[in-house]
Amino acid sequence: MTKVKIKYLLEEHSKHKVGTSITVHGWVRTLRDQKKFAFIELNDGSSLASIQIIADSDLENFAEIVEKVATGAALSVTGELVKSPGKGQNIEIKASKIKIVGLCDSSYPLQKKRHSFEFLRSIAHLRPRTNSLGAVSRIRNALFMSSHKFFQDRDFLSVQTPIITASDCEGAGEMFRITTLKEGEKGSSKDFFGKPAFLTVSGQLNAEAYALSFSDIYTFGPTFRAENSNTTRHLAEFWMLEPEMAFADLKDTYKLAEDYLQYVLSELLKNHHKDLSLFNQFISKGLIDKLEHVAKNPFEVLEYTEAVSILEKAKKQFEYPVKWGIDLQSEHERYITEEHLKKPAIVINYPKDIKAFYMRNNDDGKTCAAMDVLCPGIGEIMGGAQREERHNILVEKIKAMNLDPKEYQWYLDLRRYGGTPHAGFGLGFERLIQYATGMENIRDVIPFPRAPKQIDF
């Protein structure tokens, strides 16, 4: 018997026709016992919609089914596709055989009523069976695949940069230290690597080495930050997509960022309308219109200096006062995109003193070739820059941040041996998913979130 994913049965022009027999596997959403027959809603995660199964009382195990099968149980159902008289679906399955694969008792926490996202976080192992987390997971998968497709189609080489590192990319704290030293043992020379080691906060430095061999590359993997920010936009473990291009400048990077975002959002709108509709209806009214608008219209590019003057003119009391030289806070980023522009913005040329050492100094002596992509509702979703390719200036910048140039020898080599202008950005993948779904909390767009005091599952 052909085993079929439920989404293929529900497609408008399904190749599975009425009258044919198929087998589906899935989990029971509801079972209604009507004495002479029972209706079962079965969902296998392949689509938002479930398929209706009709179990007739002449099935050999009918009594067992109505007695034992409850919401959450796993079934394997074989039967004939029949036209559905009900509204909302055009096809259902008249079961000829129902195999109970896994029973589910009444303590199953996902009974029919709607649950808060907070509660669902406490059952992270079961929440993918809900409509909302199911849709988030499919959208995450779609964005993951179209991200690879975007870069592969443009001949970017996919590079797997390391997760364990000895260097702190940003020259700041916030890293998770890893060690094999036992409690009480001291001295990093006795440690596994013979020196302190950490989980990476970004693949960028290693990515630069590959860009300077292949021109266009990207790395896409997990990154870790021990920042103690209990916000709806920060995780301790998140995925970052980092393209890096040689023979490229700041403008090439923000063009790439815009093309990328428009591409993945267009693909999502084309192929995942049903899942997006759920968010459009229940989570973020107007989401689909918003995404369509963003996918079609050019982003606003503005200088940091312009952004500051917009904020200074704003008739709004900010918690963090605005003046040239400050790092933009989330409230500032949101004012610019939500209230001033009402669309995403690319802010460029930030003060060099607030940005990382590897960003290229501009000729004005005050700014560097940095860019952030800001989105309404989220704030920063990407951060990027043209990298400092001039060896002597980079050494000065490393020293100015109180870092040791010796630790960056290999990184500096890239400037001595065929160095070129190069540039790239880092996209927080979960922030993109938040933006695409309208989901409020970043912990609900990653399967098993890691955040301060949150590591069960």
Report the interface residues with ligand ATP, using CB under 6 A: 225, 227, 234-235, 238, 240, 380-383, 426, 428, 430-431
Residue 248 phi, psi (nearest 5): -145, 155
State in angstroms the smallest separation of the CB of 356 from ligand ATP: 8
State in angstroms the smallest separation of the CB of 437 from ligand ATP: 15
Q: In what order do the strands lie in the sheet with 300-303?
A: 157-158, 216-224, 237-246, 422-428, 379-386, 367-375, 345-351, 300-303
Which residue, 38 or 381, is less far from ligand ATP as judged by CB?
381
State in angstroms the smallest separation of the CB of 451 from ligand ATP: 9
Which residue, 258 or 430, is less far from ligand ATP as judged by CB?
430
State in angstroms the smallest separation of the CB of 93 from ligand ATP: 42
Which residue, 44 or 227, is less far from ligand ATP as judged by CB?
227
**CA–CA dist 351, 353 (Å, integer):** 6
Burial grade of 222 (CB within 10 A; 0-12, 13-18, 19 or more): middle
State in angstroms the smallest separation of the CB of 417 from ligand ATP: 27
CA distances 175 to 7, 77, 160, 429, 431, Å, are 42, 50, 20, 19, 20
State in angstroms the smallest separation of the CB of 269 from ligand ATP: 21
Structural contact between residues 361 and 353, judged by C-beta atoms closer than 8 angstroms = no
Which residue, 62 or 238, is less far from ligand ATP as judged by CB?
238
**CA–CA dist 222, 105 (Å, integer):** 36
Which residue, 129 or 387, is less far from ligand ATP as judged by CB?
387
Joined tokens for residue 264: 């993945």
State in angstroms the smallest separation of the CB of 32 from ligand ATP: 42
State in angstroms the smallest separation of the CB of 445 from ligand ATP: 10
Which residue, 127 or 431, is less far from ligand ATP as judged by CB?
431
Structural contact between residues 252 and 109, judged by C-beta atoms closer than 8 angstroms = no
* DSSP helix/strand/coil, 277: helix
* Minimal CB distance residue for ligand ATP: 428
Q: What's at 178, amino acid-wise?
A: I
Which residue, 242 or 275, is less far from ligand ATP as judged by CB?
242
State in angstroms the smallest separation of the CB of 112 from ligand ATP: 33
Q: What's at 10, amino acid-wise?
A: L
Which residue, 291 or 374, is less far from ligand ATP as judged by CB?
374
Q: Give every CB contact of residue 366 below 8 A, 6+ residues apart in sequence.
A: 351, 352
**CA–CA dist 45, 47 (Å, integer):** 5
State in angstroms the smallest separation of the CB of 430 from ligand ATP: 5
Write b or e for each residue in 83-108: b if 16 or more Cβ atoms lie within 10 A of its Cβ, otherwise e. Answer: ebeeeebebbbebeebebeeebeeee
Which residue, 150 or 238, is less far from ligand ATP as judged by CB?
238
Structural contact between residues 15 and 8, judged by C-beta atoms closer than 8 angstroms = yes
Which residue, 44 or 380, is less far from ligand ATP as judged by CB?
380
Residue 267: count other Cβ atoms within 10 Å of its Cβ.
18
Which residue, 66 or 308, is less far from ligand ATP as judged by CB?
308
Secondary structure (H, E, C), 99-151: EEEECCCCCCCCCCCCCCHHHHHCCCCCHHHCHHHHHHHHHHHHHHHHHHHHH
**CA–CA dist 394, 415 (Å, integer):** 9
State in angstroms the smallest separation of the CB of 327 from ligand ATP: 8
**CA–CA dist 304, 351 (Å, integer):** 8
Which residue, 33 or 338, is less far from ligand ATP as judged by CB?
338
